[in-house]
Amino acid sequence: MSTPFFPCAGGRALHAPTRRDFLYSLGASIGSVAFSAMMPQGASAADKVNPLAPKPGHFPAKAKNCIFLMMEGGPSHIDTFDPKPMLDRMHLSEFTREGEQKSAMESGKRYYVRSPFDFHKVGQSGADMATNWEHLAKVADDLCFFRGCQVDSVNHPTAMYQMNCGNRFGGDPGIGAWVNYGLGTLNQDLPGFIVLPEISYPQGGAANWSNGYLPASFQGTPLRAKGSPILDLTPPPGVSMARQRKNLDLIAELNARHAAHHEGFDELAARMDNYELAFRMQMQVPETMDISAESDKTKEQYGVGQAETDSFGRKCLLARKLVEKGTRFVQVYNGTWDSHDYIERAHGNLVRGVDQPIAALIADLKQRGLLESTLVVWCGEFGRTPDNGVRGGVAYGRDHNPNAMTMWFAGGGVKAGHTIGATDEMGMLAVDKVHHVRDVHCTILKLLGLDDNRLTYYHAGRFKQLSQFGGQVIPELIA
């Protein structure tokens, strides 16, 4: 069984253990001794430190921050970074797939579909990339491609939950919540886990960045790229900062009285912390979200102001600014890549929307000396199949595929300029360096200085972790 882990700062426990935690610890051979050592001398269980204060990891980290680029809907590896010449020869060959996990849109006869995109080798590393990735090709040697990932679900919400939270049924903390639980954040005036979603939330909604059973302080905070970053962030007319301060002081006094009679009530403590954080955010967030101070060259580099790239370009630029300000984990969404039909048009438009911004993000981080300490992750929730059903002759697309997908990493201690793993000749199945997504999660934590087996939280009768029941680090991905 995993050992309990209570991240500490200044000698104090991160969260107040409940009576159940205490009784459980007595059942272990040295549980009571360990519990006593974790509590400060003379302090009550309700006397907490800031849960988001920076904390040391389990071992030296290669990365301090993470930017997670989530391509919701399932980008096709076969049409982006994993070319399959065999499909050119098998194009429109019919077959019937039997005995495999199928998506709700898959039935009857299938036919193989070649990619509508040409591929070439790019960079000194010779990475495979579809030719419509014009800008990303310029930073190919900074990327580490991984073709061996597999997941368990063919359905979007459950696959999204598994990629983001480790559990495909929802209710668990997002990976950003786990990272902040283990490490805290480097800027106490901003949330430690920030999400930049589309206007329409991804399938599964806000549960993709939930704190789950962790204390509420660790949940992701979604910000809007345009307009007010957070609704009602600005005080109403006539309410000064001084008046807000007095109001918050009064609320804090009343909450403190209530908390004194309810030790271990995490929700109340988190509410009090969030009031204070929201007050500080009124100064920090508008300044951080304002890109007007960026040079015209930088905005042009990210594609800001261009119709196809403006939205995602702003989010990538904001992600750079946020990690520069010390935000620990930033997740950026783009969707939807669910191309069941007309994949040439659908994926073509999507690639044009993200290609320049992502390449600019990598180059900008590198130019500022931030790429070495910032882990960048690009992925969807699953890959896509090499075949499709009959859909009107030329409306070629692809179905969901949990057995093969490509993701890539940059910065943060990964093995740049390498391609790890492989899929079969049709792109249906990962066959080399095959790893479940739980191992990807363990590797991300490792790069950030955290051990998945020690980053645990006692809930519902057992110690829980991001990987659910343990995984292994993928050594081939680490430099």
Q: How far apart are CA 169 and CA 161, in angstroms?
A: 7
Q: What is the DSSP string of 215-246?
A: -GGGS-EE--SSS-SSTT-SPPTT--HHHHHH
Q: Quote the strand ranges of 87-205, DSSP E.
A: 94-96, 109-112, 119-122, 127-130, 143-146, 149-150, 193-196
Q: Residue written as tokens 């600014």?
A: 321
Percent composition of the chain: helix, strand, coil (DSSP 3-state, to 5): 35, 15, 50
E strands within 160-293?
A: 193-196, 221-222
User: Rounded CA gap, 234 and 477, in Å?
Assistant: 44
| Residue-level pLDDT at 315 | 95
- Domains in the chain (CATH in brackets) are 65-230+272-477 (3.40.720.10)
User: What is the pLDDT, as a whole number, of residue 235?
Assistant: 59
Q: What is the pLDDT of residue 111?
A: 87
pLDDT of residue 21: 47
- CA 366 – CA 70 distance, rounded (Å): 21
Phi and psi angles of residue 416, each rounded to the nearest 5 degrees, phi first: -65, 150
Which pTM was predicted?
Answer: 0.82
Within a 10 A sphere around the Cβ of 4, how many other Cβ atoms? 19
**Per-residue pLDDT in tens (0 to 9) along the chain, 479 residues:** 444 444 443 333 344 445 444 434 433 333 333 333 333 333 333 335 688 899 999 999 999 999 999 999 999 999 999 999 999 999 988 877 666 656 555 556 788 999 999 999 999 999 999 999 999 999 999 999 999 999 999 999 999 999 999 999 989 999 999 999 999 999 888 889 999 999 889 999 999 999 999 998 899 999 865 555 554 455 566 656 666 666 666 776 777 777 777 666 666 666 666 655 555 555 555 666 778 889 999 999 999 999 999 999 999 999 999 999 999 999 999 989 999 989 999 999 999 999 999 999 999 999 999 999 999 999 999 999 998 865 555 678 899 999 999 999 999 999 999 999 999 999 999 999 999 999 999 999 999 999 999 999 999 999 999 999 999 999 999 99
- The Cα–Cα gap between 420 and 437 comes to 15
**Structure confidence at residue 20 (pLDDT):** 46
Question: What is the CA angle 43-49-52, rounded to 5?
Answer: 160
